[in-house]
Structure 1
């Protein structure tokens, strides 16, 4: 069994990142735009809605639900004002349709009220990361992962989106306490990982979780697991 780091610091995280790069290759820069004003108007809102659709569902169904949503309704106002049962039926393939339809309309209402009528998240770009994350997670149904996806992928803010792969691998490597909640895992990784490594390490940890460090029957015959992991497969 490999020995976990007794204590992780910035240098150790950089070492882990490099070893993952050695195993999988470097990760390209994020496609983050920096603000709605630098991209298509409302692109951040579109990403938020797509991320809500992606909660607890496979990527293929997220794509199908997103296509149905944005082809059925002409704009965000039409989505917000649509009958709830009609909206839920439109996104049915994403699962939890009524819940997600409610979350989508609640998010759109919050954005419209914050901006005085515009469906744009550009105002988040001027906020500090913690403030922007707090604004998003104050909307019922938007948790730290959904907020982090939008803030990191769209705005380039340094906040780690902790999905099941990132959480599993981080706990096995000792980056995050095994007992930590998902919300706590977000906080720990945001504090620990250097800002410029947030996005590439997110991608690499997902790749490692899919390739080797799976939830069941992990394959630990790789140099990264041999050095860092303490799962049952090691």
Structure 2
């Protein structure tokens, strides 16, 4: 009989992942101590990262921020020009449109400033819908910005987190990505949302890969229900 998941078992999973990989530490400041303009950079970079490898995200971000002097120049750039600048990130026309739409929404909300500082004062259940109401901003992008930059308690679910969570039985196999976000936000204690996100990604890359998973490790032995285990 499979064990049910509760807060105690989630904490045990976190501790077992720490034993395997070491603790997940945050980089830099977040929340009210963070640079207000960096929140917008996080948002733009996370849009670039959608469905693409980290190295291509980095290259696209370097191209973008070296080509344009400020967010106003990015927002007002000809769409076809902007798409060419970020082409290495894939889906260039779609992502150019999403970036310009997001910058326009931020500017409209603040009365002209390119800053997401206003989100810091909002509760998570209000800040997240504000972001996802922008067409092209899904729950993962919103959660990355809110958790990584503002330290708000919401868990970003990428392909690794979703795959491992389903194999471990934290969420149903049939759950959509949006539903996985909701379920993990409810299940995972707030202070573990960031470190567990990082550790599950690490486990998904190191052992619980999409194809030919390596299940010879204590975490998979204890928690995994996939065929390889």
**TM-score, length-normalised on structure 2?**
0.97
Q: 1:205: Cα distance to partner?
A: 0.5
Match of 1:16 in 2: 13
The unaligned stretches of length 5 or more in structure 2 are none
1:206-217 to structure 2, matched below 5 A, reads 206-217=201-212
Pairing 1:154–2:149 present: yes
Pairing 1:26–2:18 present: no
User: Do the aligned partners of 1:30 and 1:199 also contact (CA within 8 Å) in 2?
Assistant: no
Match of 1:173 among 168, 172, 180: 168
Q: Let me know the Cα RMSD of the aligned residues.
A: 1.1
Runs of 4+ in 1 over 4 A off after TM superposition: none
What is the CA–CA distance in structure 2 between the aligned matches of 1:92 and 1:73, rounded to whole Å? Answer: 15
Q: 1:30: Cα distance to partner?
A: 4.9
Q: 1:63: Cα distance to partner?
A: 0.5
The unaligned stretches of length 5 or more in structure 1 are none
What is the CA–CA distance in structure 2 between the aligned matches of 1:156 and 1:9, rounded to whole Å? Answer: 23
User: Do the aligned partners of 2:34 and 2:149 also contact (CA within 8 Å) in 1?
Assistant: no
What is the CA–CA distance in structure 2 between the aligned matches of 1:40 and 1:33, rounded to whole Å? Answer: 8
Match of 1:226 in 2: 221
Match of 1:47 in 2: 42
Number of aligned residues: 229
What is the CA–CA distance in structure 1 between the aligned matches of 2:11 and 2:65, rounded to whole Å? Answer: 40
User: Do the aligned partners of 1:172 and 1:230 also contact (CA within 8 Å) in 2?
Assistant: yes
**TM-score, length-normalised on structure 1?**
0.95
Q: 1:22: Cα distance to partner?
A: 1.0
2:228 match: secondary structure: coil
Match of 1:111 in 2: 106
Match of 2:71 in 1: 76
